Amino acid sequence: MTHKFDFKNINKLDNEWRRQNLPPVLTIEKLGLSMSDIVADIGCGIGYFTIPVAEFVGKRNNVYALDTSDEMLEELKKRAALADVFNIETIKTSEYDLKLPAESVTFAILVNVLHEIEDKKKFIEEIKRILKPDGKLAIIDWEKENMEVGPPINHRIGKEEVLELFSSFGIKLTNSLQFTKAFYGLIGVKGANGKRQ
């Protein structure tokens, strides 16, 4: 059974510790987004990254905010309105149906979500479906180590396991990032032929 985030713990999604360890703007800069990117923030939560991404790309493109929780999406809408950001399209999804057309986004962001997914291969397959050829997938997740914060170690997914998923779906690793001691980041590119290698 995977570890699911509880909306009751919403304060953990935006607090001083998180802003020190995973600052949203600096994190986005490290991911290498382009202003022309069509972005899907998968498991967007309260919009901790969605809103700065939307500010970054500007009015040129909508940013898709995808989540399975109505409560998270409603909180995101409130925060976006307060920030005067109006190029976010919120979409309620299921875990294995992201409700977007095939090959519709150029950059998918997945922050602290993959460890919550039961069937990770099915999930990555669905993300790959919505990515355009040469589209990027950025995964940030908890290091698989014991620490006072975050999910239990047996619910975490290690960097090596993510790399195996990338490889099995023909996603080429282009960058490996470190975000303090708590988080790692991996960026991959979908093969132009869209097939497993």
pTM: 0.89
The answer to whether 169 touches 108, Cβ cutoff 8 Å, is: no
Question: What's the pLDDT at 13?
Answer: 66
Residues facing 63 on adjacent strands: 88
Question: What's the pLDDT at 180?
Answer: 82
Residue 52, classed as helix, strand or coil, is helix
The answer to whether 39 touches 88, Cβ cutoff 8 Å, is: no
Question: Rounded to an integer, what distance in angstroms lies between the CA atom of residue 26 and that of residue 75?
Answer: 23
Question: What's the pLDDT at 197?
Answer: 40
Question: What's the pLDDT at 17?
Answer: 85
Counting as low any pLDDT under 70, the low residues of the chain are: 1-13, 192-197
* Token digits of residue 146: 């014991």
Question: What's the pLDDT at 191?
Answer: 82
Question: What's the pLDDT at 15?
Answer: 79
The residue extents of the domains of the chain are: 7-190
Using only the alpha carbons of the chain, give its radius of gyration. Answer: 16
* HSE value, Cβ hemisphere, 13 Å, CA-based, for 46: 18
* Token digits of residue 109: 């962001």
The answer to whether 139 touches 112, Cβ cutoff 8 Å, is: no
Q: What architecture is domain 7-190? A: 3-Layer(aba) Sandwich (3.40)
The answer to whether 41 touches 109, Cβ cutoff 8 Å, is: yes
CA-to-CA separations, 179 to 30, 43, 141, in angstroms, rounded? 10, 19, 10
pLDDT tens-digit map of 149-190: 888 899 899 999 999 999 999 999 999 998 888 999 999 999
